[in-house]
Amino acid sequence: MNVTAQAASALAIPFDHHRLDRLMDQAGIDVVVVTSKHNARYFTGGHRANFFDYMDAIGLSRYLPVFVYPKGAPEKAAYIGHRLEGFQVRVQPLWVPETQTNSGTAVDAMQKAVAYMAKANFKPKRIAAEFGFLPYDAAKVLRDAYPDADWVDAVHVTERQRLKKSPAELALLKEASERVLASMRAVIENTPPGATKADVTEALRREEVKRGLTFEYCLITAGTNLNRAPTDQRWEKGEIMSLDSGGNYHGYIGDICRMAIQGDPDAELQDMLAEIEMIQRAAMKPIKAGAPGRVIYEAAEPLRARSKYQPLDFLAHGMGLVSHEAPHLTASGPVPYPATDADLPLEAGTVISVETTLAHPTRGFIKLEDTVLVTDSGHEIFGEGLRGWNRAGTGV
């Protein structure tokens, strides 16, 4: 074992750095410079600046975390954080060998990162930076420091890195899904007729927060209205409701959709939801490590196309720290990206959101969304319950 390998083995690195090294090598990347809060959290092993949890702007600049990783040398990795992060790092030290919590602005943070890279004798020929998460002034500092280096977007490498989740990440995703599900159950059971969509959304927010989640959103419909914003529209007796909510648990998203009704569903509503459930189950059935990503759409699309209920939409996308992260299975979904993973084998440890939606003009918005883990032997659903018509107000 060489000195570098010995140094790396002594570190409690919270991600598969060998995978990252391979990905960087394949792309010809020498150094990755991470500046997004979600990737900084991932590479530091869960650290997130609590002062900047809900905002980035401060004074005349903004908060900018900088994580620097040189290929094959995790013992030379660095993290540059804001001075207020020092309180957190003192009680929960990071694995990162060079940790500085003394920056104040975006430019200041990047200047300190560049100074460290010079001190550590980095001579990168190709730098991967997060183009979508790197402000112009900080980017100029990095560019001026390495004027002859090639730049590439780090999004592709970081997405491939995060695609395969660790057991710890999977536990967080499962908890997130199950806590969102429990929150929905509590809200549905305790909501009588006449509550507004805004009322229900606020109740769901409280239930998710009570269960240790950070409430992110609730896309909500009531009756036959297809508008999914929280409004003063009332959920009256006999009407349906869709609850599509994302709750964040230590950075990982639980995102499911379930249906409720004030009263009892008629035969047509029961048949509509059963049709959606059939498509969901069919799409999930072929999910297994080693199967090409396209099998999900190949199983769902024929059923969707010939359904008597239209317009019916189907979507499958990756889940984790980011909604719609890798694997990317379609180029025609609502979030634009190429179908990079359609022909690639699914990896065990990948998490996929599977959703089927009927926006019916006279019956309303009917949808199921599930979070699914790819395993070696098949798949596992996170947050399995409440799949039918859930009667509202039963606990009132």
Instruction: Give the pLDDT band (50/70/90) at residue 1.
Output: very low
- Whole-number mean pLDDT of the chain? 96
Instruction: Give the pLDDT band (50/70/90) at residue 396.
Output: low
Instruction: Give the pLDDT band (50/70/90) at residue 11.
Output: confident
> Which tens digit of pLDDT belongs to each residue from 260-285?
999 999 999 999 999 999 999 999 99
Please tell me the distance from the alpha carbon of residue 36 to that of residue 329, in angstroms, as a whole number. 24
* pLDDT, position 3: 38
Q: Which fold has domain 167-391?
A: Creatine Amidinohydrolase (3.90.230)
Take residue 227 and report the two structure tokens written for it. Answer: 């508008």
- Please state at what angle helix 106-119 crosses helix 136-145, rounded to 10 degrees: 20
* pLDDT, position 82: 98
153 contact partners, CB below 8 Å, separation of at least 6: 128, 129, 130, 131, 132
Say how many residues make up the chain.
Answer: 396
Please tell me the distance from the alpha carbon of residue 58 to that of residue 104, in angstroms, as a whole number. 9
Q: Is the pLDDT of residue 310 over 80?
A: yes
Q: Give 277: exposed, middle or buried? Use CB within 10 Å, 0-12, 13-18, 19+.
A: middle
Quote the pTM value.
0.95
Listed by start position, the domains of the chain span 3-163, 167-391
> Which tens digit of pLDDT belongs to each residue from 31-60?
999 999 999 999 999 999 999 998 999 999
Closest CA to 226 of 108, 359, 340, 128: 359
Q: Which fold has domain 3-163?
A: Creatine Amidinohydrolase; Chain A, domain 1 (3.40.350)
* pLDDT, position 362: 97
Q: Is the pLDDT of residue 22 over 70?
A: yes
> Which tens digit of pLDDT belongs to each residue from 323-345?
999 999 999 999 999 999 999 99
For 9, list phi and psi in degrees, rounded to 5.
-65, -20
Alpha carbons within 13 angstroms on the beta-carbon side of residue 149 total 20
Instruction: Give the pLDDT band (50/70/90) at residue 70.
Output: very high
Q: Is the pLDDT of residue 5 over 80?
A: no
Q: Is the pLDDT of residue 2 over 50?
A: no
Task: Give CA 279 to chain center in angstroms.
Answer: 23
- Contact indicator for 165, 349 with CB cutoff of 8 Å: yes
